[in-house]
Structure 1
Amino acid sequence: MANSPTSSSVSAPCRLEWRPSRLLAGALVLLGAAAALAVLASEMPRGLAWPLAVASGLWGLRLARDETRRPVQHWVFPADGRVTVDGVRVREPVLVWRGPLAILRWRDGQGRRHGLGWWPDTLPAAARRELRLAAGMADASRDRRPMAP
């Protein structure tokens, strides 16, 4: 058809915001409390058990506080596979799915490894589908051998 619009095979990039998970922070508090109770339930002498129980409970609270204070990050997953965070390109991004949890691992410009997770309370179902599609397109463009050399 002469008047039909030309279609493009390039899709819009997937733009996601990562923010700390309240679900994870709550789990860290519960783990700290469980560790404290486990120490108190053990046969450790009470003079050592109580300080260790208090320390483990406080450590769980500290981990939860640190998690909630992490800065918000803006991620872009374009079709060409050049993933960026806050405008800076990342190297070797790998997205792993564990049920509804999306775990992203990458290297920065200095070669240091980083990782973060999108928990179900921070990544709605529509964004999760969009991320699956964007990550799948990036994986499809890589040259992977079907068999070991």
Structure 2
Amino acid sequence: MPTSPRSSRASVPCLLEWRPSRLLAAALVALGALAAVAVTGCELPLPLSLPLALLCLAEGLRLGRRELSRPRRWLAIDADGDASVGGRAVTELAVAWRGPLAFVRFRDADGRPRRLAWWPDTLPAGKRRELRLAAPVKAAAQKAPSMAP
């Protein structure tokens, strides 16, 4: 006789915190720095390439800061497949995976499409599995009926 109570997927909703990724912010800053190096290494005259390189570096820093300043959100998916983000109901929830990256697309209460992306530094393996299990499953495409000759 097991000592632990049986768990039911219907009783426990999936609750995930989305937060800005430091890894993504660092990549944006690095891309800005690499763009600055690329601009100075091209055949532009020096009076044009230096301001453009500084602009590239400043834009990379701005994008990195903007990513880190985005507010945290909570994604809740219940057993029926109903979802909410930040306490507001959403529709058309879809989860896509690209390796360790998780992308959640949905429509907010105003009908606007939104997207959240979890990087490996913001979604640990246990929560990643929880999202895979709670995500709505798309119906398989029906095979076209074969034609008889």
Specify if TM > 0.5: yes
TM-score where L is the length of structure 2: 0.86
Inter-CA distance 93–31: structure 2 relative to 1 (3 Å threshold): same
- Alignment partner, residue 81 of structure 1: 81
**Alignment match, 1:146:** 142
1:23-62 mapped onto 2 (5 Å cutoff): 23-62=23-62
Sequence identity of aligned pairs in percent?
55
How many residues in Structure 1 have an aligned counterpart in Structure 2? Answer: 141
2:120 corresponds to: 120
**CA–CA separation in structure 1 for the residues paired with 2:45 and 2:35:** 16
State TM-score, norm by structure 1: 0.86
Task: Indicate the larger mover: 63-72 or 89-98.
Answer: 89-98
Flag the structure with higher helix content. Answer: 1
- Which residue of 2 is the match for residue 67 of structure 1? 67
Q: CA deviation at 1:148?
A: 6.7
- Assess, with a 3 A threshold, how the Cα gap between structure 1 residues 77 and 63 changes in structure 2: closer, same or farther: same
Partner Cα separation in structure 1 for residue 57 and residue 82 of structure 2: 41
1:122 CA displacement: 0.6
Which runs of no fewer than 5 residues in structure 1 stay unpaired? none
Moved over 3 A (4+): 5-9
Matched letter for residue 107 of structure 2: R
